[in-house]
């Protein structure tokens, strides 16, 4: 099914801004608009309802997709294998969803004959970069458009436009937060949170309960195969089911609350609140299993790559050649990341209490200090002599030349 490439494909959420953007783009560009809504676990309305609203707001076509399984399998699981935490804390909630949504936008643009892809991002955030770099990485022939940035569609204008045209969408002039959420987590910013001294209030949180007054501790056993969660408490699950169940169980214990000031790609420091109970619990468990199953040098090098991988994804390089090469290395490290991790979820923490694997490098006989120790301690003296030889020679030279004082 194709049409003129004068069409515009719009990333459509079903909310006020993107509902208004359908008519706004059509009026100002004289082009037909195709709405695209991708469900990555953000909750809310049925996709059929969202599709009809897009059509009622003036879209000539509406493309909707339940992409939750695809999102977890193809985007969240690679992030889990990479233990991806931007600046050591943020599990890339929004950054992971943008390249997936962009893929569906490009797919819809090809199907419906559109030459331009539009999104609802502002000109000062990360997501505009993520959408547009992802789109042009897959479809270098396509143009990108942001109604907010390029066509002056501010929120006040959007509210006025919706009221004037009686669009079937709720309008409000007071919304204290900007929120993005999916199955991997929830991101909250703006409003009173922009004052760094203000503490988050209870209404900020949805995925997590207050960890100050937790229920009884919840013990869970997570089984991994090649770095992928495949069972909870011995019951087989898909990766999506694992994330959803741990969102519920870890969220009930207040696990996964993050309050940080991060460095945005565009050069701005931004205060962000995140909730990612399932992601945080899974990453904690995955790291614990890697500690048992990865060889020392391999694990050390992977830790360095994890930060670089997280930076690349945060900075809109999901489809870059470098990330593709990193993926190959990370995937190779996961061949022996198999086994069970027991952890206790309680009071805002996911604490590992047990590890069990048939592919680990932990040897009880070598590790124990009790009877049955198989480690030949006499060989340590020669190892130390050789290991410290270079430092010993350098120190002797420095003393002779007077470069350092004698201790």
**At a CB cut-off of 8 Å and minimum separation 6, what does 182 contact?**
40, 41, 42, 71, 93, 94, 96, 97
Structure tokens at 10: 């719009």
Active site residue 17: yes
Distance from C-alpha of 289 to C-alpha of 343, rounded to nearest angstrom: 12
Tell me if residue 144 falls in helix, strand or coil: strand
Binding residues for ATP: 11-19, 120
Q: Residue 170 CB: number of other CB atoms within 10 A?
A: 9
Taking a C-beta distance cutoff of 8 angstroms, is the pair 117, 142 a contact? yes
Which residue is catalytic, options 7, 51, 53, 98? 98
CB < 8 Å & 24+ apart, contacts of 297-304: 298/333, 302/329, 302/330, 302/333
Active site residue 98: yes
Question: Phi and psi at residue 77, in whole multiples of 5°?
Answer: -65, -45
Active site residue 340: no
Distance from C-alpha of 8 to C-alpha of 120, rounded to nearest angstrom: 13
Cα–Cα nearest to 286, from 324, 234, 235, 239: 239
CB < 8 Å & 24+ apart, contacts of 298-301: 298/333
Which residue is catalytic, options 7, 17, 209, 249? 17
Which residue is catalytic, options 127, 134, 186, 209? 127
**At a CB cut-off of 8 Å and minimum separation 6, what does 84 contact?**
91, 92, 283, 306, 309, 310, 313
Which residue is catalytic, options 178, 210, 235, 325? 178
Binding residues for L-aspartate: 122, 126-127
Task: Give me the residue label for tokens 């050789």.
Answer: 386
- Positions annotated as catalytic residues are 17, 98, 127, 178
């Amino acid at each position: 099914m194709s049409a003129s490439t004068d069409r515009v494909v719009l990333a459509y959420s079903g909310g006020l801004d993107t509902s208004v953007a359908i008519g706004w783009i059509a009026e100002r560009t004289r082009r037909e608009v195709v709405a695209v809504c991708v469900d990555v676990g953000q909750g809310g309305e049925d996709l059929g309802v969202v599709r009809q609203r897009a059509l009622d707001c003036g879209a000539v076509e509406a493309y909707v997709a339940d992409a939750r399984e695809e999102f977890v399998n193809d985007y969240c699981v690679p992030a889990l294998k990479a233990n991806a935490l931007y600046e050591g804390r943020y599990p890339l909630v929004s950054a992971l969803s943008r390249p997936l949504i962009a893929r569906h936008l490009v797919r819809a643009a090809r199907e419906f004959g559109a030459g331009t892809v539009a999104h609802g991002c502002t000109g000062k955030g990360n997501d505009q970069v993520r959408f547009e770099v992802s789109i042009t990485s897959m479809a270098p022939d396509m143009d990108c458009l942001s109604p907010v940035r390029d066509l002056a569609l501010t929120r006040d204008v959007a509210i006025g436009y919706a009221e004037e045209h009686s669009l079937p969408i709720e309008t409000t002039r007071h919304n204290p937060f900007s929120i993005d959420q999916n199955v991997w987590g929830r991101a909250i910013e703006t409003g009173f949170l922009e004052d760094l001294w203000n503490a988050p209030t209870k209404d900020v949180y949805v995925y997590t309960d207050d960890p100050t007054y937790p229920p009884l501790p919840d013990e869970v056993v997570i089984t991994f195969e090649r770095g992928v969660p495949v069972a909870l408490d011995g019951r087989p699950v898909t990766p999506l089911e694992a994330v959803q169940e741990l969102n519920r169980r870890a969220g009930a214990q207040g696990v996964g609350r993050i309050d940080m000031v991060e460095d945005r790609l565009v050069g701005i420091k931004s205060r962000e609140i995140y909730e990612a109970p399932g992601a945080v619990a899974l990453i904690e468990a995955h790291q614990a299993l890697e500690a048992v199953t990865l060889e020392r040098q391999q694990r050390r090098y992977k830790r360095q790559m994890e930060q670089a991988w997280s930076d690349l994804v945060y900075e809109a390089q999901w489809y870059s050649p470098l990330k593709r090469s990193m993926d190959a290395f990370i995937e190779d490290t996961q061949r022996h990341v198999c086994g069970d991790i027991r952890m206790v979820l309680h009071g805002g923490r996911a604490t590992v209490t047990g590890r069990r694997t048939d592919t680990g490098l932990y040897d009880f006989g070598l590790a124990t200090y009790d009877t049955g120790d198989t480690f030949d301690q006499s060989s340590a003296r020669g190892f130390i002599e050789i290991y410290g030889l270079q430092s010993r020679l350098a120190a002797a030279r420095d003393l002779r030349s007077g470069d350092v004082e004698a201790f």
